[in-house]
Amino acid sequence: MSKIFVLSLPKSGTYMWSNILEQSGYKFCGKHIAYSGFQNIPDDRQQFFEDPMGFYVKSPLADSLKFIDDGEFAVGHLPCTPETIDMLKDFKLIFSYRDLKESIVSFINYAGKFQINRGKQWSDESTPNALRIELFFRSDAAEYIKLVNSTAGWKSFSTAGKILKADYRQVINFDSQFIKQAADFFEISGPEVADIIQQAINAPSFTKIENKLKQENGWSDVSNKYYDYYGLGNVNRRLGFDQYEISTLQKKVKKAAIICNPQFIHYNYVHNYLRSFEEYKDGYEVEYIPVQMMGETSVAYDFSNYSLIVVTFHIRPWLARWGNIEFESALYRFEGTKVLLLHDEYDETDALKKWIQDFRINHVFSVIPQQYLHKVYPVDRFPDCEFHSNFTAYVSSDIPEEITIPPICLRKMDIVYRGRAASPWHGELAREKYEIGEYFKSLDHYDLRMDLDSQENERIYGDAWLQFLMSARATLGTESGSNVFDVDGSIRQWFESNPQNEDGTSRGIPDELNFKEMNLGVEMNQISPKIFEAISCKTALILYEGEYSGVLTANVHYIELKKDHSNIDDVIQKVSGCDYLQKLVDTAYEDIIESGAYSYRAIMNKIYSTNVEYTVKNCSAAEIYQKGLNFNNLVNNQLAEKTALLKASASRVQVLDKRYTNYKNNVDKKVENLKVAIEKLKSRIEKLKMYNSRYQAKIVILEKFKQDQENKLSWKVEKKIERFIGKAK
């Protein structure tokens, strides 16, 4: 008997298939396998659910698969990537999938039944059904969406006789076409397959539950909107569900594809930015299309029925470590308006600029201030692309109605903050986010109630982040961005190839390799998303002195802290004053939030207005072939250019290393000279000590001689006096 691996979407019959295979004579190897490890499944499932990570073993996939022998099977939610496909080449595969709306409902029921995600409202069976799905999307859907996107590609994978694709509903309803496919796969008769499935369905399975939350009473309008803008509708259509008619006739359309990366939706500002495309869609039909830029290669993208594509800021295909050939191919062929939203454009800027040219991007929304755009994107190089300056994020109505903003005087904490240790190659501006938090941690002599941290595992997301901000009178902040343009990636490469200090911090680049020569004459200082979030929560801001994109005024909208911390006493005094802080946050809220000047509506109107009236048209076979040929040539050229860039980058790293080595040698030589000088000084000090000791000894002798002379003189004087007295008598 062959080895079998059951691949599945979450809650799509994974352990139902375990029962089916055991009824068919296969043995379960006892492991639920993931890409980076596996869980040993015990007989007592309650023991497993009480501490699932206690059964987890970290292990590379190639090693985990060695536990499976012929006649055995394993289960898991593995991503469909070339690496995974290659590692499973000796296995027969079963891909079990399900309508994603049913899968989500089943997952929520499963979490409630076995008390997974304890403390979360969406997993609490006492929470009203209409809220559970909505709350799930708002707080903990990121991992589920990431898993679905990485696994759904198996639906498109096809090798005759190697994979059985099993729609959960077809299985439990004994669909005749599926029964025939399963009979061919297992090489047994159809009635035998049907009998085995019947027995498996009736038997208890590891995660089988009774659905208390029903699909029909759990999906509200809000839940459906979340479902759409997280791109799950698009994934469901790729699985064969949620189908709709698409006319092939030429027609005028206002349909936008929002290209997003589901790995980042748990960040509040990313969530708000994406949601705004639907909220302010201006007559457009909006569809969110998730694209993972690392490893996903089995999904076919078709943008032929859209008039506008917006590539959001967490999709960065120009980076050498990212890439999705299917997505880039579809984008290259697209003839409508292409919009690119950018953050962090100081990373590998040369590759970014070339990508904009190669893929004929029409509009770029950059976070570079307007006065500096021409320095990074020269007009003569981009005659057909329009560049717009915008912020990294805008004001959102993200605070749920059920949350009341407490007044300053009732807040339990004085200052809260979550920072992040910046990558050393991003320079001083990026490092300030970490340094301001560390400085306030050192203020032990002030009587402050503070919750400050810069560790990645202490970061907070979703509604919990807003509640965290509203728990305190004030939070900290700095300007966002980096003024170091690592145009070819060599600065990052240099840091990653050099060891860090013993305490884990970066050694830092030598002064001779000055970052100022790498800033292109551009000041990237930006107002950050967290500042808008704090103002929305009416939490006072303590910010390093700066411009903040011209949005904020010092001591009107925030408390200014000098970068040398010379006015810290004044800052602490202001934090202790309830009336002062309340007036400060009310002013900031009125000027920034209520004014609407910095709302998402304005930026959405600007993005949608870039699209001209566009006619969707069918291309001839010859045109499609020519576009494919052009794209293949582009890919080959890009490969050659990226290879050349990597060589150039390696060469620049060698130059940087040489300069650093020379710098280090000079410093080492100076240190050695100082050591020699110190030794000479020590020798002189010892000699002086010796001379001093001799001098002290001579002083003692002279003092004794002096005393002896004084005694002799005194004796002589006394004798003379006695003789004088004797003669006088």
Helix (H, G, I), strand (E, B) or coil at 72: strand
- Residue 253's pLDDT is what? 60
Q: Please, what's the b/e burial string for 410-437 (b: 16 or more CB within 10 A of its CB; e: otherwise)?
A: ebebbbbbbbebbbbbbbebbbbbbbbb
Q: 395: which strand partners?
A: 599
Helix or strand (DSSP H, E) at 166? strand 163-167
**Residues 423, 425, 429, 431: what is their CA dihedral angle, to the nearest 10 degrees?**
30
How far apart CA 299 and CA 329 sit, in angstroms, is 11
Over 599-622, what HEC string results? EHHHHHHHHHCCCCCEEECCCCHH
Q: 291: closest CA among 239, 243, 330?
A: 330
| pLDDT tens figures, 63-100 | 999 999 999 999 999 988 878 888 999 999 999 999 99
pLDDT band of 537, cuts 50, 70, 90: very high
pLDDT band for position 246 (50/70/90)? very low
Half-sphere exposure of 54 (CA within 13 A, CB side): 8
Contact by Cβ (8 Å): 81, 296: yes
pTM of the model: 0.56
Write down the pLDDT at residue 249. 32
Q: Give the pLDDT confidence of 664-692 residue by residue, as tens digits.
A: 787 788 888 888 888 888 888 888 888 88
Q: Residue length, the chain?
A: 729
- How far apart are the C-alpha atoms of 375 and 372, rounded to whole Å? 5
In this prediction, residues 34-48 reach a mean pLDDT of 79
Report pLDDT digits (tens) over 610-633: 875 444 444 444 444 455 555 555
pLDDT digits (tens, 9 = 90+) for 372-423: 888 889 888 888 888 999 998 888 765 666 678 899 999 999 999 998 877 7
Instruction: Show the tokens assigned to 201.
Output: 């369905």
* pLDDT value at residue 144: 84
Q: Encode pLDDT of 543-602 as tens digits.
A: 999 999 889 999 999 999 999 999 999 999 999 889 999 999 999 999 998 888 888 888
Q: What is the spatial distance between Cα 708 and Cα 727, in angstroms, rounded to a whole number?
A: 29
Residue of higher predicted confidence among 311 and 157: 311
**Per-residue confidence (pLDDT) for residue 5, from 0 to 100:** 95
pLDDT of residue 206: 54
Q: Which residues contact 517 (CB under 8 A, 6 or more apart)?
A: none
- Residue 245: is its pLDDT beyond 60? no
Q: Please compute the mean of the pLDDT values over residues 335-353 and round it to a whole number.
A: 89
